[in-house]
């Protein structure tokens, strides 16, 4: 009997321990609310932590984060934001891509807030009503294996990947997820459905290798399993810093009609009904500030500041000198279902 | 077979079990309001491939786990205990974990694609489910019956005529549990580049975050899983509840080192995978460092939570199922429990999230969602063990002048201890490997080792992923060991 009681007691104790480091109650008073901000983040944990630490050091406000990432093909946090809509637990959502932000805005999860320094960020990188604000962006790049391809031979445009000489030699990530889905949807938005479909059918016919994620693309190029990969610049920078036999090239830059490379900002959302609205607004001010962008540019995240004049990542050319694909971010987000259905048909994924 | 008590006593005894099952099903009722029959749709190509993948994987798992279980359970081969531990370890992490480790040894493995390869990997990784159940069943076989078969029958005939029928329930149980787990698997299909219903669900949801858009895909899969549960429940429960009873296990006869080598096959795969992660760390030395990758609280809670979940599930099951063990409703409860276990953990978590919202934003700890799915599993373990208990033992125990609770703890539960050990280990392993419930229900600021590994694998250097992977592995093994040790230590002396 005693043992049974001990077991039950332990079960209860563990259940309590399972709660871990929990947030203070939203009704625990303004003072506690001012010292805490709950941030759900789909940005990579190792990069997001640098921002959280900097903010905590600067303000002594306790950041309580929860992480998820599009690379792992889960949507736990976004499902949670939608599920918690009636009684929100989060104050801020830091989305690693604008598509996710727009989808959440469509779900009526966000509240309007225009951050202090947002006027410095171009209007196309933010919602006109302040429902999301873009900051620190990534671009899409080619990473090629220098043991297999000379710099002069490397393709200059994604269109070249349909040529016979690249048959079976290139890889990109699963187009249903993350930045590759953004890239594909951007092409559908830019070209129209028919042309984009033909392009991806040509890639399939040219034996495109579809990798599990951008990190997998990087590994395949570094290992020499494929000669060239289309991926995010932060993954490419990791390979360069690990001294792999690879080089980076920014596609679609040459010529007056060049397509340009997609520029993909992070996005900050204030959650509707946030438990700590004041702290949330101040955190968003910091997240979208030049200071936060500087941290992200200097780290392995290698992200481009969107504030004018911000110093870009060390291993990449300045943003001002790049041709960027001109797209409406909300339109790209709403193109995702069409693109997704087409990709299922073409790639069988 | 379950003994039926008098009708009124039977009905009263069934109340706690019925109430527990109703509570477990509560989060699912919350989701039903989103279902609209006119929007249901599924892709039959994905559906067929999903079934093919799950059935093939489960077949591989059952054959592999069953064969190793029989080998290690009936022969005293060199290093038997160590080989058993190594053969069980794969259940402590998801199949993708082992595969990703192996691909770090040789990148060529990363080019392997297709559902059959994925099914083979899943089969080997989930083989411990059948292995655990077969081992538990072997410990309860009638000793004299099997010894007589040894004397009278050649090995193959003995296996076909005696062993397989006696282990039928364990093998069937392992097969069904593995099918259910694989129907909800999405990581391996993504890694091996093919579509299943689950990948369709994930891709649809990842773009809309709208549960109403996703449910038309979820419901047919759920219905398929439940139909499978219904189809298999009757024969499974029949074999589980009517199998042999009263045995003290097979006497192991000496076996050669060659047999040890056969049983070492899973260990070889295990070493390949662990070697892959370790190699990534070695290549990065001396810069690779474990500092800052996981704090002590995360490590502790990651280990303790699955243990707590396993013990809570077993305790709740015993508290509710033991009084109802002779109830006429027990077969129906088991049937219902099996169906509840069929529901994927993420769906439970979304349901519990909904329950919390209805209760005014009440935070639901992850352990609640874990336990609610684990209770049906431990019910099955209880039923397997209890069904083999000789009627005479319990009747004899009733003559001893002790309270019913003491009788249960002193005489009845020790005899089914090994079944409870097996389910406790399995529950801890499934809980430790989870990331869906964690990302949906963890309190802000909290983290778990497995979730951290997934997050790191997105962008962190290989050495960081390697260190975290090995930490996860040590944590998982510790957690499974502690979970199994609870019921094992409690009833060891009385076994």
Smallest Cα distance from B8 to chain A, Å: 27
Looking at residue B86, its pLDDT comes to: 87
Kindly state whether B401 is in contact with chain A, defined as any CB-CB distance less than 8 angstroms: no
For domain A26-137+265-316, the question of CATH label 3.40.190.10 is answered with yes
As to burial, measured by CB atoms within 10 angstroms (0-12 exposed, 13-18 middle, 19+ buried), residue B238 is middle
Looking up tokens 């499934």 gives B430
Residues A7-40: pLDDT tens digits? 444 444 444 444 444 444 433 444 455 789 999 9
Please give the Cα distance from A178 to A184 (Å, whole number).
Answer: 10
Q: What is the mean pLDDT of residues B24-40?
A: 71
Whether the Cβ atoms of residue B422 and residue B83 lie closer than 8 Å to each other: no
> What confidence category does residue A266 fall into, taking pLDDT thresholds of 50, 70 and 90?
very high
Structure tokens at A112: 């309007």
Neighbouring C-alpha atoms within 13 Å toward the C-beta of B129: 31
Structure tokens at B129: 């489910």
Kindly state whether B360 is in contact with chain A, defined as any CB-CB distance less than 8 angstroms: yes
Dihedral sign, Cα of residue B321, residue B324, residue B326, residue B332: negative
Looking at residue A7, its pLDDT comes to: 46
**Which of B269, B284, B299 is the endpoint of a domain?**
B284
Q: Are residues B198 and B100 in the same domain?
A: yes
Least CB–CB distance from B191: residue in A90, A212, A242: A212
Mutate to test the interface with A, among B445, B452, B488, B493 (most CBs of A within 10 A): B445
Mutate to test the interface with A, among B281, B304, B444 (most CBs of A within 10 A): B444
- Which domain does B340 fall in, by range? 12-39+290-495
Q: Are residues B224 and B371 in the same domain?
A: no
Please give the Cα distance from A170 to A159 (Å, whole number).
Answer: 12
> What confidence category does residue B280 fall into, taking pLDDT thresholds of 50, 70 and 90?
confident
What φ, ψ does residue B424 adopt, rounded to 5°? -65, -45
Cβ neighbour number for residue B61 with a 10 Å cutoff:
31
Whether the Cβ atoms of residue B131 and residue B69 lie closer than 8 Å to each other: yes
Contact between chains at A89 and B444 (C-beta distance less than 8 A): yes
Per-residue exposure over B190-209, b if at least 16 CB sit within 10 Å of its own CB, e if not: bbbbbbbbbbbbbbbbbbbb
**β-strand pairing of B253-254 with B75-76:** parallel
Domain ranges of chain A: 26-137+265-316, 139-262+331-347
Looking at residue B246, its pLDDT comes to: 55
Whether the pLDDT of residue B40 is over 70: the answer is: no
As to burial, measured by CB atoms within 10 angstroms (0-12 exposed, 13-18 middle, 19+ buried), residue A345 is exposed
Whether the Cβ atoms of residue A215 and residue B191 lie closer than 8 Å to each other: no
Mutate to test the interface with B, among A3, A11, A188 (most CBs of B within 10 A): A11
Residue B2 lies in a domain: no
Q: Are residues B246 and B315 in the same domain?
A: no
**Residue A134 pairs with which residues in a beta bridge?**
A267
Least CB–CB distance from A104: residue in B195, B209, B436: B209
Residue B65 lies in a domain: yes
Q: Are residues B142 and B195 in the same domain?
A: yes
Q: Is A273 helix (H, G, I), strand (E, B) or coil?
A: coil
Residue B1 lies in a domain: no
Cβ neighbour number for residue A17 with a 10 Å cutoff:
16
Residue B168 lies in a domain: yes
Structure tokens at B317: 């099951």
Whether the pLDDT of residue B289 is over 70: the answer is: no
Kindly state whether A89 is in contact with chain B, defined as any CB-CB distance less than 8 angstroms: yes
Please give the Cα distance from A65 to A49 (Å, whole number).
Answer: 9
Looking at residue B225, its pLDDT comes to: 74
> What confidence category does residue A236 fall into, taking pLDDT thresholds of 50, 70 and 90?
very high
Report the C-alpha dihedral over residues B449, B453, B455, B460, rounded to 10 degrees: 130
Q: Are residues B191 and B326 in the same domain?
A: no
Characterise A112 by phi-psi region: left (phi > 0), alpha (psi -120 to 50), beta (else).
Answer: beta
Looking at residue A33, its pLDDT comes to: 57
Residues B324-362: pLDDT tens digits? 887 888 888 888 887 788 777 777 888 888 888 888 888
Whether the Cβ atoms of residue B427 and residue B377 lie closer than 8 Å to each other: yes
**Residue A94 pairs with which residues in a beta bridge?**
A41, A268
Looking at residue B75, its pLDDT comes to: 87
Whether the Cβ atoms of residue A49 and residue A43 lie closer than 8 Å to each other: no
Instruction: Say which range, A260-269, B102-111, B172-181, has the weakest mean pLDDT.
Output: B102-111
Dihedral sign, Cα of residue A306, residue A311, residue A314, residue A315: positive
- The residue that leads in pLDDT, B475 or B419, is B475
| Domain A139-262+331-347, CATH homologous superfamily name and number | Periplasmic binding protein-like II (3.40.190.10)
Report the C-alpha dihedral over residues B338, B341, B342, B347, rounded to 10 degrees: 150
Number of compact structural domains in chain B? 2
DSSP-assigned letters across all residues of B398-467: HTSSS-HHHHIIIIIGGGGHHHHHHHHHHHHHHHHH--HHHHHHPPTT---HHHHHHHHHHHS-HHHHHH
Q: How far is CA B8 from the centre of its chain?
A: 35
Task: Please confirm whether the linkage preceding B286 is cis (ω < 30° from 0).
Answer: yes
Number of H helices, E strands in chain B: 23, 2
Looking up tokens 């007589």 gives B148
- The residue that leads in pLDDT, B199 or B316, is B316
Contact between chains at B406 and A1 (C-beta distance less than 8 A): yes
> What confidence category does residue A295 fall into, taking pLDDT thresholds of 50, 70 and 90?
very high
Whether the pLDDT of residue B77 is over 70: the answer is: yes
Q: Which residues contact B150 (CB under 8 A, 6 or more apart)?
A: B158, B253
Please give the Cα distance from A231 to A141 (Å, whole number).
Answer: 6
Whether the pLDDT of residue B114 is over 80: the answer is: yes
Whether the Cβ atoms of residue B266 and residue B90 lie closer than 8 Å to each other: yes
Residue B6 lies in a domain: no
Smallest Cα distance from B486 to chain A, Å: 9
Residue B297 lies in a domain: yes
Cβ neighbour number for residue B473 with a 10 Å cutoff:
22
Average pLDDT, chain B: 81
Please give the Cα distance from B330 to B343 (Å, whole number).
Answer: 20
What is the distance between the terminal CA atoms of chain A, rounded to a whole angstrom?
55
Q: What is the mean pLDDT of residues B311-330?
A: 87
Question: Angle CA(B237)–CA(B239)–CA(B242) in degrees, nearest 5?
Answer: 100
Instruction: Say which range, A27-31, B15-19, B260-264, B484-488, has the weakest mean pLDDT.
Output: A27-31
Contact between chains at B301 and A89 (C-beta distance less than 8 A): no
Least CB–CB distance from B193: residue in A90, A107, A349: A349
| Long-range contacts of B297-300, Cβ-Cβ distance < 8 Å, separation of 24 or more | B297/A20, B297/A21, B298/B446, B298/B447, B298/B448, B298/B449, B298/B452, B299/B449, B299/B471, B299/B475, B300/A17
Whether the Cβ atoms of residue B387 and residue B1 lie closer than 8 Å to each other: yes
Q: Are residues B238 and B306 in the same domain?
A: no
Same topology between domain A26-137+265-316 and domain A139-262+331-347: yes
Residues A115-171: pLDDT tens digits? 988 888 999 899 999 999 999 999 999 999 999 999 999 999 999 999 999 999 999
> What confidence category does residue B292 fall into, taking pLDDT thresholds of 50, 70 and 90?
low
Q: Which residues contact B345 (CB under 8 A, 6 or more apart)?
A: B184, B369, B370, B373, B430, B434, B436, B437
Q: Is B5 helix (H, G, I), strand (E, B) or coil?
A: coil
Q: What is the mean pLDDT of residues A68-76?
A: 61
Contact between chains at B315 and A7 (C-beta distance less than 8 A): yes
> What confidence category does residue B391 fall into, taking pLDDT thresholds of 50, 70 and 90?
confident
Least CB–CB distance from A177: residue in B206, B312, B363: B206
Instruction: Say which range, A18-27, B81-90, B287-296, B380-389, has the weakest mean pLDDT.
Output: A18-27
Q: Are residues B251 and B128 in the same domain?
A: yes
**Which of B261, B284, B307 is the endpoint of a domain?**
B284
Whether the pLDDT of residue A326 is over 80: the answer is: yes
Nearest to B233 by CA among B344, B129, B333: B333
Please give the Cα distance from A43 to A49 (Å, whole number).
Answer: 10
Q: Which residue in chain A is spatially nearest to B109 when comparing CA positions?
A: A225
Residue B91 lies in a domain: yes
Kindly state whether A110 is in contact with chain B, defined as any CB-CB distance less than 8 angstroms: no
Q: How far is CA B18 from CA A304, B6, B327, in A?
A: 58, 18, 11
Smallest Cα distance from A156 to chain B, Å: 26
Looking up tokens 């600067």 gives A58
State the complex-level ipTM. 0.73
CATH code of B163's domain? 1.10.3720.10
Structure tokens at B183: 């129907």
Least CB–CB distance from B444: residue in A66, A215, A219: A66
Kindly state whether A326 is in contact with chain B, defined as any CB-CB distance less than 8 angstroms: no
**Which of B284, B305, B323 is the endpoint of a domain?**
B284
DSSP state of A86: T
> What confidence category does residue A242 fall into, taking pLDDT thresholds of 50, 70 and 90?
confident
Please give the Cα distance from B226 to A38 (Å, whole number).
Answer: 38
Whether the Cβ atoms of residue B459 and residue A235 lie closer than 8 Å to each other: yes
B-proximal residues of A, 214-253, CB under 8 Å: 215-216, 219-220, 223, 225, 234-235, 238, 242
Structure tokens at B447: 């983290």
DSSP-assigned letters across all residues of A323-348: -B----HHHHHHHHHHHHHHHHHHH-
Looking at residue A72, its pLDDT comes to: 54
DSSP-assigned letters across all residues of A297-316: HHSTT-PBP-STT----TTS
Helices (H), chain A: 2-18, 30-34, 45-59, 76-83, 98-106, 178-191, 193-205, 214-223, 233-241, 277-287, 290-298, 329-347
Contact between chains at A66 and B442 (C-beta distance less than 8 A): yes
What φ, ψ does residue A190 adopt, rounded to 5°? -75, -45
Q: Are residues B142 and B236 in the same domain?
A: yes
> What confidence category does residue A57 fall into, taking pLDDT thresholds of 50, 70 and 90?
very high
Residue B434 lies in a domain: yes
For residue B334, give the H/E element and its range: helix B330-342
Residues B222-248: pLDDT tens digits? 777 777 777 666 656 655 555 555 556
Please give the Cα distance from B127 to B387 (Å, whole number).
Answer: 24
Dihedral sign, Cα of residue B312, residue B318, residue B324, residue B325: positive
Residues B192-214: pLDDT tens digits? 888 888 777 777 766 666 666 66
Kindly state whether A316 is in contact with chain B, defined as any CB-CB distance less than 8 angstroms: no
């Amino acid at each position: 009997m005693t043992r049974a009681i001990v077991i039950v007691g332990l079960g209860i104790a563990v259940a309590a321990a399972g709660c871990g480091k929990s947030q203070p109650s939203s009704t625990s008073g303004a003072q506690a609310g001012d010292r805490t901000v709950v941030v759900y983040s789909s940005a990579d944990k190792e990069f997001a932590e640098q921002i959280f630490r900097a903010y905590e050091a600067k303000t002594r406000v306790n950041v309580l984060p929860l992480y998820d990432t599009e690379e792992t093909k889960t949507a736990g946090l976004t499902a949670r934001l939608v599920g918690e809509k009636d009684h929100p637990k989060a104050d801020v959502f830091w989305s690693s891509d604008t598509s996710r932000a727009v989808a959440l805005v469509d779900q009526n999860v966000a509240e309007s807030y225009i951050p202090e320094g947002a006027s410095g960020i171009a209007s196309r990188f933010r919602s006109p009503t302040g429902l999301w604000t873009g900051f620190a962006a990534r671009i899409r790049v080619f990473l090629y294996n220098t043991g297999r391809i000379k710099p002069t031979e490397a393709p200059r445009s994604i269109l070249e990947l349909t040529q016979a000489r690249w048959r079976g030699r290139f890889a990109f990530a699963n187009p249903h997820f993350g930045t590759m889905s953004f890239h594909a949807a951007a092409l559908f938005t830019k070209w129209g459905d028919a042309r984009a479909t033909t392009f991806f059918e040509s890639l399939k016919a040219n034996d495109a290798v579809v990798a599990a994620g951008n990190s997998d693309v990087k590994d395949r190029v570094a290992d020499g399993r494929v000669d060239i990969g289309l991926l995010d610049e932060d993954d490419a920078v990791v390979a360069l810093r690990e001294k792999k036999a690879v080089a980076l090239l920014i596609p679609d830059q040459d010529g007056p009609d060049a397509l340009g490379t997609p520029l993909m900002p992070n996005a900050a959302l204030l959650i509707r009904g946030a438990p700590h609205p004041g702290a949330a607004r101040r955190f968003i001010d910091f997240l979208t500030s030049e200071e936060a962008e500087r941290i992200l540019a200097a780290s392995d995240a290698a992200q481009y500041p969107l504030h004018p004049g911000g110093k870009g990542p060390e291993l990449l050319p300045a943003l001002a000198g790049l041709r960027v694909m001109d797209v409406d971010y909300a339109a790209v987000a709403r193109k995702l279902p069409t693109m997704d259905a087409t990709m299922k048909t073409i790639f069988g994924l | 077979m379950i003994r039926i008590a008098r009708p009124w006593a039977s009905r009263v005894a069934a109340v706690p079990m019925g109430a527990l099952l109703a509570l477990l099903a509560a989060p699912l009722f919350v989701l039903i309001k989103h279902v609209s029959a006119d929007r249901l749709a599924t892709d039959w190509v994905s559906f067929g491939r999903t079934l093919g993948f799950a059935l093939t994987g489960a077949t591989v798992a059952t054959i592999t786990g069953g064969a190793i279980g029989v080998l290690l359970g009936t022969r005293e081969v060199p290093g038997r205990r160590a080989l058993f531990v190594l053969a069980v370890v794969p259940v402590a992490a998801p199949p993708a974990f082992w595969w990703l480790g192996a691909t770090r040894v040789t990148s060529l493995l990363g080019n392997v694609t297709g559902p059959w390869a994925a099914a083979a990997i899943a089969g080997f990784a989930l083989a411990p489910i059948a292995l655990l159940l077969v081992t538990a069943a072997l410990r309860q076989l009638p000793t004299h019956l099997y010894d007589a078969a040894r004397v009278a029958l050649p090995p193959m005939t003995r296996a076909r005529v005696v062993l397989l029928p006696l282990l039928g329930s364990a093998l069937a149980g392992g097969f069904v549990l593995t099918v259910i787990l694989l129907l909800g698997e999405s990581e391996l299909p993504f890694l091996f580049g093919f579509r299943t219903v689950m990948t369709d669900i994930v891709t649809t949801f990842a773009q809309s975050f709208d549960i109403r858009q996703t449910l038309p895909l979820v419901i047919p899969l759920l219905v398929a899983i439940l139909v499978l549960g219904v189809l298999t429940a009757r024969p499974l429960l029949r074999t589980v509840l009517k199998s042999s009873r009263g045995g003290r296990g097979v006497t192991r006869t000496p076996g050669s080192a060659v047999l040890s080598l056969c049983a070492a096959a899973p260990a070889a795969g295990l070493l390949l995978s662990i070697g892959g992660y370790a190699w990534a760390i070695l290549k990065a030395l001396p810069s690779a460092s474990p500092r800052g990758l996981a704090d002590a609280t995360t490590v502790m809670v990651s280990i303790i939570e699955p243990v707590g979940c396993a013990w809570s599930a077993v305790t709740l099951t015993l508290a509710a199922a033991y009084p109802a063990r002779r109830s006429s409703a027990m077969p129906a409860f088991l049937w219902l429990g099996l169906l509840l276990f069929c529901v994927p953990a993420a769906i439970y978590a979304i349901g519990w999230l909904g329950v919390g919202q209805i209760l005014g934003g009440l935070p639901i700890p992850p352990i609640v969602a874990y336990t609610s799915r684990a209770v049906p599993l431990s019910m099955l373990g209880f039923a397997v063990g209890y069904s083999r208990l000789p009627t005479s033992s319990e009747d004899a125990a009733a003559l001893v002048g002790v309270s019913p609770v003491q009788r249960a703890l002193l005489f009845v539960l020790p005899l089914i201890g090994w079944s409870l050990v097996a389910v406790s280990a399995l529950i801890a392993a499934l809980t430790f490997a989870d990331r869906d419930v964690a990302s949906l229900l963890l309190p802000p600021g909290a983290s778990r080792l497995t979730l951290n590994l997934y997050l790191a694998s997105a962008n962190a250097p290989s050495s960081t992923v390697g260190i975290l992977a090995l930490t996860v592995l040590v944590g998982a093994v510790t957690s499974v060991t502690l979970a199994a040790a609870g019921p094992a230590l409690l009833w060891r002396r009385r076994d």
